[in-house]
Homo-oligomer: A and B are copies of this chain.
Amino acid sequence: MVVTDAPPQPGIHPGCQRVIEIFGRLGDKWTILSILMLTEKPRRFNELKRLIGGISQQMLTRTLKALERDGMLTRTVYPTVPPQVEYALTPLGRSLSEPLLQLASWTLEHVGDIEDHRVAHDGKKATGEERGG
Contacts and interface: CB of A to CB of B under 8 A. Distances in A.
Interface of A: 1-3, 7, 9-12, 15-16, 18-24, 26-29, 32-33, 50-54, 68-72, 92, 95-96, 98-100, 102-108, 110-111, 113-118, 121-122
Copies of this chain, complex-wide, total 2
Contact of A92 (B15, B96, B113, B121): B113
B18 A108 contact: yes
30 contacts: A1-B27, A1-B28, A1-B29, A2-B29, A7-B54, A11-B50, A11-B52, A11-B53, A16-B33, A18-B111, A18-B115, A19-B104, A22-B107, A23-B27, A23-B29, A23-B33, A24-B27, A27-B28, A69-B117, A69-B121, A70-B117, A71-B116, A71-B121, A92-B114, A98-B106, A99-B103, A99-B105, A100-B103, A102-B103, A103-B103
